[in-house]
C-alpha cells in the first residue's frame, strides 16, 4: 500500500490495483473504471481512506460488470466459439452439481467471454463464469465455481470467507488461489 495524505492505492484480488485520491473540492465519492484492472476513485478531502475502500468493496459487483464491457483485443474468434460451446455444455452442469452437493443455492448463471476475471457472484446470488475457465485444469474450474458459491454466503474476502472456502475444498483455499494465479485468461 502506498500512502500519502492525499493518495493511496491498494491491490484487490479481482479488481487489480485501485487508486484513491482526495480532492478538496469533491463533494462525493466517484469511481472511474478507465480500463481493465485500472480503477480510480476520487473522494472528498474529509473522507477517510478506509471508508472509500469499504465503498469500493460494496460496489465491486458493479465495477466488475463495467470491466466486463471493456473490450480486449487479439482473441481468436474460432477459439472463442469453441470455448463458448464447451463452457455452455459443462459449466451449468458442474455449477449445479457443486451447488447441490454443498447446499449453496444460487439464482442465475451467466456465461460470458470475460477476460478480466474467471468468475463473480452478485449480492443477488447471480453467478457469472468466464468461458476461458475451459482452458484450466478441472480442479481449478471447481475451485473457481466453489469460490463463487462461497460468495453466496460471504460477499467479501474476509477471514470467514476463506475459512468457508477451505472447508468446501477440503484444503487451504489460499494455496489453490495461488495456483490459479499462475494461469492467465489471455
pTM (two decimals) = 0.63
142 vs 119: CA distance, rounded Å: 11
pLDDT digits (tens, 9 = 90+) for 97-152: 999 999 999 999 999 988 888 999 999 999 999 999 999 999 999 999 999 999 99
Q: Where are the beta strands (DSSP E) in 24-102?
A: 30-35, 38-44
pLDDT value of position 2: 44
| Residue where the block lists cell 487451504 | 172
Q: Could you count the other beta carbons within 10 Å of the beta carbon of residue 120?
A: 25
Amino acid at each position: 500500500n502506498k500512502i500519502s495524505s492525499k493518495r493511496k492505492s491498494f491491490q484487490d484480488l479481482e479488481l487489480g490495483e485501485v487508486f484513491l485520491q482526495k480532492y478538496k473540492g469533491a463533494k462525493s465519492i466517484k469511481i472511474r473504471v478507465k480500463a481493465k484492472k485500472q480503477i480510480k476513485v476520487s473522494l472528498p478531502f474529509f473522507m477517510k481512506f478506509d471508508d472509500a475502500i469499504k465503498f469500493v468493496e460494496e460496489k465491486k459487483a458493479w465495477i466488475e460488470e463495467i470491466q466486463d464491457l471493456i473490450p480486449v483485443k487479439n482473441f481468436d474468434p474460432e477459439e472463442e466459439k469453441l470455448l463458448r460451446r464447451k463452457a455452455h455444455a459443462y459449466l451449468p452442469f458442474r455449477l449445479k452439481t457443486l451447488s447441490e452437493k454443498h447446499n449453496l443455492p444460487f439464482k442465475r448463471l451467466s456465461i460470458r467471454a470475460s477476460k478480466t476475471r474467471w468468475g463473480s457472484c452478485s449480492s443477488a446470488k447471480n453467478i457469472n463464469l468466464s468461458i476461458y475457465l475451459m482452458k484450466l485444469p478441472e480442479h481449478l474450474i471447481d475451485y473457481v465455481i466453489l469460490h463463487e458459491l462461497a460468495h453466496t454466503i460471504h460477499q467479501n474476502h474476509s477471514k470467514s470467507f476463506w475459512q468457508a472456502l477451505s472447508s468446501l475444498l477440503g484444503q487451504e483455499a489460499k494455496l489453490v488461489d495461488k495456483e490459479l494465479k499462475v494461469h492467465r485468461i489471455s
